């Protein structure tokens, strides 16, 4: 979500608000931006072991709309810079690791000619140069997508395309050097894709079958579908309800799918789980007391970690799942009085390091984008 309102200079020059409190340690203010989503984020490591944190966000001001980026290198924030991309209305940016501290950048933007929402990719070097792109990935309109990094530095991307009344689900691989392969038509009348890349190079793909209201799951190897199962019923929606997103992940034994729902202003999160490869799962269960539950990206661990917001306290929380069950919670960030989050926080795990990212909108100034890490 991006705010495109432009603010008078006196408001932009206000003193920054105090940093929120994190039980993990220090909090970094990454940027101020007109967006409700956390910054896109990835941790990369080159052949010499040099580690780089990369952040990306949308800048919108009197100078126009730009895609901006900065790093944390050797523990210090670098200066931010704007990418040499020609954005119109960029949104839903995501970052994924590529070789030699490069990153794959994905985002949705309006096509320059047709003005139809399309999915784009670019391979970005550490200095901000565009090594490849921008490349249109989707065919026809796209309103939602999912991506899964693979062990070789490549990506699998899925999106639901036009027509929106009967969307078609597509898959496409982007290699480690940012080059897309041919797209694969995966399913008809299917929406809300969620991908998970496994350590053995296999790909798990989940989506909602719009004909039967069923969660379906498929396993792919080298782009070839090996199995397809109707796993469970999807979460029921009433008139006026909105399905905000569907996400997926795995732990050492189970796969999980999460639903985030807005029921006329009330947020809910649900999940379903089953053993990896199981042909059927139990129906979805509501996660009481939390909203915006989003599985971590980055490295997989024996248990599954997910970020969430505590309904009562508003605290940013990390939930732990194991063997298909919610087994623990850890309150991490207490926001300052008057602060809130509109979009769910994001959790990233790499080399046993956990990074929690969020956006805290301000009605009188650009939102602050934050990160705290547990190293």
Query: 3-state SS of the chain: helix, strand, coil percent to 5?
Result: 0, 60, 40
Domain ranges within the chain, ordered by starting residue = 1-27+253-370
The pTM is what?
0.91
Is residue 163 a contact partner of residue 215, using CB atoms and an 8 Å limit? no
Which parts of the chain sit beneath pLDDT 50? Answer: 3-13
Task: Decide: helix, strand or coil at residue 127.
Answer: coil
3-state class of 49 per DSSP? Answer: coil
Three-point CA angle 92, 16, 80, nearest 5°: 50
Give the pair of three-digit tokens for residue 108.
């949705």
pLDDT at 286: 97
Q: Could you tell me which of 61, 75, 68, 66 has the C-alpha nearest to residue 28?
A: 75
Coil vs helix vs strand at 9: helix
- Give pLDDT tens digits for 19-71: 899 999 999 999 999 889 999 999 998 778 888 999 999 988 887 889 999 99
pLDDT in tens, 336-373: 887 889 899 999 999 878 999 999 987 667 899 999 99
Whole-angstrom distance, CA of residue 356 vs CA of residue 39 = 10
Q: Can you give the pLDDT at residue 91?
A: 92
Q: What is the pLDDT of residue 114?
A: 84
């Amino acid at each position: 979500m991006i705010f495109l309102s432009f603010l008078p200079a006196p408001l932009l020059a206000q003193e920054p608000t105090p940093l929120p409190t994190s039980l993990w340690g220090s909090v970094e203010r990454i940027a101020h931006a007109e967006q409700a989503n956390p910054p896109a984020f990835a941790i990369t490591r080159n052949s010499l072991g040099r580690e780089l944190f990369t952040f990306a966000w949308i800048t919108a001001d009197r100078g126009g709309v730009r895609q901006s980026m900065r790093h944390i290198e050797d523990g210090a924030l670098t200066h931010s810079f704007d990418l040499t991309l020609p954005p119109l209305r960029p949104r839903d940016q995501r970052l994924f690791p590529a070789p030699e501290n490069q990153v794959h950048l994905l985002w949705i933007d309006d096509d320059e000619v047709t003005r139809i929402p399309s999915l784009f990719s670019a391979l970005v070097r550490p200095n901000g140069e565009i090594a490849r792109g921008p490349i249109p990935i989707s065919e026809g309109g796209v309103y939602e997508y999912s991506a899964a990094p693979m062990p070789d530095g490549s990506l699998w991307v899925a999106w639901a395309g036009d027509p929106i009344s009967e969307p078609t689900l597509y898959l496409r691989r982007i290699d480690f050097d940012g080059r897309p392969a041919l797209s694969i038509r995966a399913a008809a009348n299917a929406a809300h894709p969620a991908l998970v890349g496994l350590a053995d190079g296999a790909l798990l793909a989940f989506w909602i079958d719009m004909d039967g209201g069923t969660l379906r799951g498929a396993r792919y190897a080298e782009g070839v579908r090996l199995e397809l199962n109707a796993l469970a019923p999807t979460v029921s929606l009433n008139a006026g309800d909105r399905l905000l997103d569907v996400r997926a992940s795995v732990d050492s034994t189970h796969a999980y799918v999460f639903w985030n729902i807005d029921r006329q202003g009330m947020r809910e999160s649900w999940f379903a789980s089953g053993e990896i490869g199981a042909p059927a799962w139990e129906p979805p269960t509501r996660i009481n007391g939390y909203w915006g539950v989003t599985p971590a990206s980055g490295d997989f661990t024996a248990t599954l970690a997910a970020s969430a917001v505590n309904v009562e306290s508003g605290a940013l929380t990390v939930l732990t799942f194991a063997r298909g069950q919610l087994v623990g919670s850890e309150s991490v960030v207490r926001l300052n009085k008057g602060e809130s989050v509109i979009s769910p926080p994001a959790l990233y795990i790499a080399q046993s390091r956990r990074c929690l990212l969020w956006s805290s909108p301000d009605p009188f100034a650009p939102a602050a984008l934050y990160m705290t890490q547990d190293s």
